[in-house]
């Protein structure tokens, strides 16, 4: 089993720049037909996750927000960092290191952003420079509490 997190930024920033901000060594991978460029990297043994970075236009995100409400966001341009981690490394390495990477990326950008878990639960948004944590019960887990932006 695995868990996936998605950090989406409303930007057309070059993928390599996002990789630099994330401090992740990435390499270009073949993209599926009809899709844009794709970078992949990360060291699951060391960091507890692998990451894929890709971008596009006319984004669409929908997730469960606070108290079960539906959240919807449709940025014109977007870049996504998709973090993939195994459940057995989730608490030890994956989630804490991923949150550190998310903090680096958010600290190096000003664009609106969202962080989702399994493409279904909204954890974090930044709109107009204001950071907001969603689904507070998720943030009460020990390894989320160390998130600093």
Rounded to an integer, the average pLDDT of 101-130 is: 95
Per-residue pLDDT tens digits for 86-99: 877 767 778 888 89
Q: Are 99 and 117 in contact (CB under 8 A)?
A: no
Give pTM, 2 decimals: 0.89
Rounded to an integer, the average pLDDT of 93-113 is: 91
Higher pLDDT, 91 or 122: 122
**Which residues, other chains included, contact 136 with Cβ-Cβ below 8 Å and sequence gap of 6+?**
66
Residue 87: predicted pLDDT? 79
CATH code of the region 2-134 = 3.30.310
Half-sphere exposure of 36 (CA within 13 A, CB side): 16
pLDDT > 60? residue 38:
yes
Residue 90: predicted pLDDT? 67
Residue 75: predicted pLDDT? 98
């Amino acid at each position: 089993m695995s868990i996936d997190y998605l950090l989406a930024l409303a930007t057309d920033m070059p993928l390599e720049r996002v990789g630099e901000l994330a401090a992740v060594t990435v390499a270009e991978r073949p993209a599926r037909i009809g899709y844009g460029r794709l970078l992949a990297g990360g060291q699951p043994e060391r960091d507890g996750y692998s990451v894929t970075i890709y971008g596009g236009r006319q984004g669409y995100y929908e997730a469960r927000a606070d108290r079960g409400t539906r959240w919807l966001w449709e940025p014109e341009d977007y870049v996504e960092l998709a973090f993939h981690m195994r459940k057995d490394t989730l608490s030890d390495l994956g989630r804490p290191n991923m949150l550190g990477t998310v903090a680096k990326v958010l600290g190096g950008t000003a664009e609106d952003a969202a962080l989702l878990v399994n493409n279904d639960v909204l954890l974090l948004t930044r709109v107009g420079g204001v950071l907001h944590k969603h689904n507070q019960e998720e943030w009460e887990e020990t390894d989320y509490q160390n998130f600093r932006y």
